[in-house]
Amino acid sequence: MTYSRRKTLALIGGGTLVAAAGGVGLFASTRTPTAALVPWDRAGQYSDPRLRAMSYALLAPNPHNRQPWEAELVGDDTVHIWRDPARDLPVTDPFARQLTVGMGCFLDLMRMAAAEEGYGIDQTLFPDGETGPMAVCRFVAGAVQPDPLFAHVLERRSHKEVFADRPLDAASVDIITLRVDLLAQGDEAQALRDLATEAWLIEAATHDAWKESIDLLRIGKAEIDAQPDGIDLGGPMFEALSRMGLLTREASLDPTTMAAQGAIQGTVDAIASAAGLVLLTSSANTRADQIATGARWLQLNLAATGAGLGVRPVSQALQEYPEMAAPYTAIHQAYAPDRGTVQMLGLLGYASATPRTPRWPLETRMRPIPSNA
């Protein structure tokens, strides 16, 4: 996150912060969390093809940037992929549905990266049920066609700003329509905008749900480099706000404060500015359905990136906690009436470039090889 974010303008409430930031000199010019971004540069720089593929996979989109994946190398051709329960979101994602969708993004990006080198992946999901690995993946050398979407991996981001005031062109509509269950634009999108906004405001007003996000704030370079996950607030403006005591977790937790109101309004503005809203649905809601949704969400993101579009998830209305019951019921009645599941809701539009998002190094996400292996 950088100081160009519109929410920063809401936070400063005038020229105070600009003046303060102007006095921090070299401090303000060296606030990029360089260590947290190293995994982007190391993608593909490993000797083992499984590690090379996973070094790209960890760049996949995932809820709250929790990066819930763990991996264990087995033999010379297999990797076991686990979801780390220590990274759960127990309030807003009590059944780990969204986190499993994120795991699906990881698995599909690993597939794409392996295919770039001619490896197919023989994948078995939940071979031991929920108590074992989420996926057992055996790398198989052979005639595998590369996926053209892989070309956009290093440019893909989840957009974080308001979108440009520009309708989708026909070519972009054609590209996106092929990858979603619904692309709503214009008047057709208003009902979804209203639901997304209502759900976001419910989350902001629900203490435990809001606190779950606030607890994941990483404010400033030092925090982001030390813990490169969660919701990063980096850049000289946010650093200066923090140093002045205007941006703290305590202040952000109270939704009536200037810090919280800026963040809340920023998302309201983003929802209003999107040229389109997209839905992904499934007829059932098994773990396999959730993982398949993750693959689709990743592919949508990459296709949108190739088309010059930004994508941002706004899935609060799909969250399964009591305070969200009304929008959850409404969106399912409207868009999955036959007992299906709305798995993802997102914003789509033309957008300025978004900085890279912090990532844990691959080595920190690896389970140790057993000593008797």
329: which residues sit within 8 A by CB, 6+ positions away?
none
Q: What is the CA radius of gyration of the chain?
A: 21
Q: 210 near 255, Cβ under 8 Å?
A: yes
pLDDT of residue 30: 52
Q: How far apart are CA 347 and CA 80, in angstroms?
A: 33
pLDDT of residue 223: 95
What is the mean predicted confidence (pLDDT) over 153-176?
97
pLDDT of residue 8: 43
Map out the domains of the chain as residue ranges: 155-218+248-350
Q: Which of the residue ranges 8-22, 216-230, 306-320 would you say has the lowest mean pLDDT? A: 8-22
pLDDT of residue 23: 39
Q: How far apart are CA 127 and CA 212, in angstroms?
A: 32
pLDDT of residue 9: 35
The fold for domain 155-218+248-350 equals NADH Oxidase (3.40.109)
CA 43 to chain centre: 18
pLDDT in tens, 172-192: 999 999 999 999 999 999 999
Q: Side chain identity at 365, as an amino acid letter? A: R
pLDDT in tens, 260-292: 998 999 999 999 999 999 999 999 999 999 999
pLDDT of residue 370: 54
How far, CA to CA in Å, does 231 sit from each of 130, 263, 320? Answer: 28, 12, 21
Number of helical (H) and strand (E) elements in the chain, helices listed first: 15, 11
Mean pLDDT, rounded, of the chain: 91
pLDDT of residue 257: 87
What confidence tier does 155 reach under pLDDT thresholds 50, 70, 90?
A: very high
pLDDT of residue 171: 97
